[in-house]
Chain A
Amino acid sequence: MPDLSQVFDVLVVGGGNAALCAAITARKLGANVVVAEHAPKSLRGGNSRHTRNLRALHPGPTDVLTDSYLEEEYWDDLLRVTKGKTDEHLARTCIRASQHAPGFLRECGVVFQPSLSGTLSLSRTNAFFLGGGKALVNALYRTAERLGVLILYDTEVQHLEVEDGFFKEAIVSYRGFPHRIRAKSVVASAGGFQANRAWMREYWGDAADNFQIRGTPYAQGTVLKDMLAGGVQQVGDPTQFHAVCNDARSPMEDGGLAMRLDCTPFSIVVNKNVERFYDEGEDTWPKRYAIWGRLIAQQPDQRAFAITDSKAVMNYLPSVFPPMRANSIRELAGMFGLDADKLEKVVADYNAAVQPGTFNGQELDGCRTQGLEPPKSNWARKIDTPPFIGHPMMPGITFTFLGVKVSDKARVMMADGKPAANIFASGEIMAGNILGQGYLAGFGMTIGTVFGRLAGEEAAKNVRN
């Protein structure tokens, strides 16, 4: 039993990448650090367990990143996906610091690898963790423990006692027993609230019951809600989240990346009323995969169905659950419980609208439809070669955008506009400062690493003052 009666220098709430980066940084600066991770050891790491890479600025090729990726391009990419809903100063701070994120993680024992297949062609902009996010999490925990950080698993932080922007103590449940943890500074890295269905229902009603939670079931938003109620300034649209299209048969929680379906650009996608609702071939999949979750979330019953044929099967990554296969569109409609006449007509109309062209699955090939609404702008081929293939889809939510406002030093801002005395935040709990909407692959881990380091540094400094 660890001594929880002591006054720690820094309490880190959460156990993912952002939390561990903060804990390690603070410990390296001499602070006495305790990490409170809600999950048991085997499921530690929050959503970081399911990640694979981070996006890093680099002026030239490195051993794991090709070519170069400079601030202006990075900023442009961010501006495009967020449609301007970002904080330029915080964003540029994060982008500049991202150059040093892979080096920091490497010092913590994280191993990077050149990107291989199935990675959405991100080898120029994103550094990949060998073995993925769980290997990263393992390395960070080993480093933290070696440095002398106290790790508490199965420890849910239920309430932060804050008075006039000053954190005093945390009320926690440690392995089911109530405790208080006192610390001179606190870093909140406890993630979003996407796994809290009751909270999601406040904005989405019954539809929230049909959202698959891709990541950790521990993202309950308890600390986020507590901080917002305790006078911390809110940032981000509470109704917004990052979501992708998942296989409808995935587990409702913790299914991770492998549940994602990549078939959209090579299919047509209809909702349960057998209507197409968006251009499946609008842009390359790495630039579009993040919008489809939300598109499906807005369809009746949050359901969609990708329809394609045997020609396309090898163009996209295999799905975990085998697709439906049928010798006719009618039979496929029956498998999905869709109106067969209507589906046959949708496919026939689409086939009639497909223009001749040379298919190329690797790039925007201009194979498009003519006179179809909505159009399919690329990779449009006739669906005519049995067996016909169908993938059932549901939205899979990665994280929510609601968060706490922070400064460029990761210091939490109070609702009255004043900075908190000793409260810092990193990771998804503050990602909404930079990501007002949309998403850039690997940017969540970048925010977590950069602001985790900042939060750890500032929290440790705060103790000394």
Chain B
Amino acid sequence: MSATESEATQEARRYLEVCNACRYCEGYCAVFPAMTLRREFSTGDMQHLANLCHGCKGCYHSCQYAPPHAFGINLPSSFATIRNESYEQYAWPPAFGAVFQRNGTVVSLVAALGIALALILTAIIQDPGVLYGAHTGPGAFYKVIPWWLMTALAGGSLGFAVLAMTIGAVRYWRGTGSKPGPVLAPAAEATVDILTLRNLGGGGHGCNDTDEGFSTHRRWSHQALMYGFLLCFASTSVATIYDHFLHLEAPYAFLSIPVQLGTWGGALMLLGVIGLTWVKIVTDPVPVAKHLAGGEFALLALLFLVAATGLLLLAIRHTGAMGVLLAIHLGLVLALFITLPYSKMVHGLYRGLALYRSAREKRTMKASSAD
């Protein structure tokens, strides 16, 4: 219990000391079985458990010690705060961690600047006639925004994001004090956990998405968003292969693989964002960290705009509006790439590592118990 520990960490540790003697929540998610492996909780343990928490709120709504009980136990809220503090602590470069303190503002500003930058660059580089003209056929997009510029901005920002997140992952892994253990089986289990979002199943019947009743809205919405995002990523990857190796230049036909992947992916993303936003708005406000809502809504809005402008681009790509919309869309994508390591998008990284560590500890540690 170092003096530099955050209030949320100290508070959540007090909660866990009650939880570890109660254990009614063991059936809900991975956090409680991981808790029972311990009697004492280091700062790193607290960060690990916080990142393992999916914010399903099952433990809050079933807690005999939830407010207004004197113990006032509210793990989902404290864990959300600790997660955000861990994003800040392990961000790279370290100086950038501060963006998690005002994440809504930062993500919104980057999105606005991304659009502005794309529009300004396009306007400077291209003749206005090109920007507002109708272009069709292979290479139409590159007439508006040159291929080299598109590749440099997208590749550069994504490359940096991957580098920053990789270093962040290493810093997190070391900082939370993970111990050696088996690799393959835990990795496989964590992958299945992520792909199925098992921990938002609440033990089979769903989670307390909005109140003390159970539903699977959040699980389905999150998976729609995640798989939609992956489909869009696959779309871009296939398009890159088409362009580089098959020398087929965009735009592609509606029934082509990249456009189909992108269309379905974009539609899923929209559905997911709408679902998650709805849950966030109507949910019981107590078991959440309200001060983090800005960053969460900003990211959801950014994802919504990326998907919406992508789909709109498909619809109007043969018209004179294509140029401006393409610039806006690419500006938003650029903003998303830039903020990958500095927005709630990093939760996937640390959550994945926490699931992996949890699956590993299950195999190497033994629960403390009387029976």
Contacts and interface: CB of A to CB of B under 8 A. Distances in A.
A138 B61 contact: yes
B370 A120 contact: yes
A342 interface: no
Contacts of B20: 317-318, 320
B205 A111 contact: yes
Contacts of A119: 23, 371
Interface residues of A, number: 44
Contact of A256 (B22, B68, B367): B22
Contact of A320 (B21, B28, B39, B64): B21
A256 B20 CA distance: 14
B137 interface: no
A42 interface: yes
B6 interface: no
Nearest to A122: B371
B21 to A, nearest CB: 4
Contacts of B205: 111
A371 interface: no
Contacts of A118: 23, 26, 36, 369-371
Interface in B59-73: 59, 61-70
B371 A113 contact: no
A116 B26 contact: yes
Contact of A142 (B23, B28, B212): B212
Interface string A112-134: 01101111110000001011111
B62 A134 contact: yes
Given A42-B68, A316-B370, A117 B36 contact: yes
Contacts of A116: 23, 26-27, 33
Interface string A76-117: 000000000000000000000000000000000001011011
Contact of A135 (B17, B18, B33, B62): B62
A43 B23 CA distance: 20
A262 interface: yes
Which of B62, B66, B67, B212 has most A Cβ within 10 Å? Answer: B62
Interface in B63-91: 63-70
Contacts of B62: 130-132, 134-135, 138
A257 interface: yes
Nearest to B20: A318
Contacts, number: 112
Contacts of A134: 61-64, 66
A135 B65 contact: no
B180 interface: no
A256 B65 contact: yes
Interface in A289-322: 313-322
Contacts of B25: 131-132
Interface string B193-214: 0000000000111000000110
A130 B59 CA distance: 10
B101 interface: no
27 contacts: A42-B66, A113-B27, A113-B203, A117-B367, A118-B23, A118-B26, A118-B369, A121-B371, A130-B27, A130-B62, A131-B27, A131-B61, A132-B24, A132-B62, A133-B24, A134-B62, A138-B61, A138-B62, A251-B70, A256-B65, A258-B65, A316-B370, A317-B23, A317-B368, A319-B21, A320-B21, A321-B17
Interface of A: 42-43, 49-50, 52, 111, 113-114, 116-121, 128, 130-135, 138, 142, 251, 254, 256-260, 262, 285, 313-322, 361-362
